Amino acid sequence: MITLGNLFDGIGGFPLAAVHNGIIPIWASEIESFPIEVTKIRFPDMLHVGDITKLKGEELPPVDIITGGSPCQDLSVAGTRAGLAGERSGLFMDQIRITKEMRYADARRGKADHLIRPRYFVWENVPGAFSSAGGEDFKAVLEETARIADSTISIPRPPGGVWKSAGCILGYEFTIAWRVLDAQYWGVPQRRKRIFLVADFGGRTAPKILFEQDSMFGDTEEI
């Protein structure tokens, strides 16, 4: 059984994707009352753990995957562009902190490195993250994510300083991949581009997860 914990839950997008793929959503963090009521109906067995800033990873039920789409307003080209220094988009660092705390706690239980939870980390955000702070914010996202597995790592800017819409990092015992996906190819009647970043802290599956297709774009399975 693969389990999931979702931060910045909203109305449960990641938990919904999880259950359609045989993954069990265990807990979610959200502070707005209406979305919480929605997800209580849709996922009655999912625990609501409250404000992300008050959570401690070592006290949460350990899960295999931590997902989160941290607030995008400070990264979006339509916003003030305060970036990760902004009050809202800066909450990304709480996703990092909670993941580290949970992994440290699981490691203390004597788990082998590839079994420490969460093994997988997923982050979703707007493409404006590539250019925020002149590209430094996405560099920080990659470095902070990589440092969950390797605290010494430093990631250089790409040639020309401009981040591509897809890429991957192959670490010694971890992998990170990112890709821009557009919701119009998954049955949504609008263009809605988002960055999806996947980290595998126990192996090399992140590029496989994001880049290997099971079907053609637009060939969505009926549920």
168 is catalytic: no
CA distance linking residue 90 with residue 78, whole number of Å: 17
Active-site entry in 72, 98, 169, 206 = 72
- The residues carrying an active-site annotation are 72
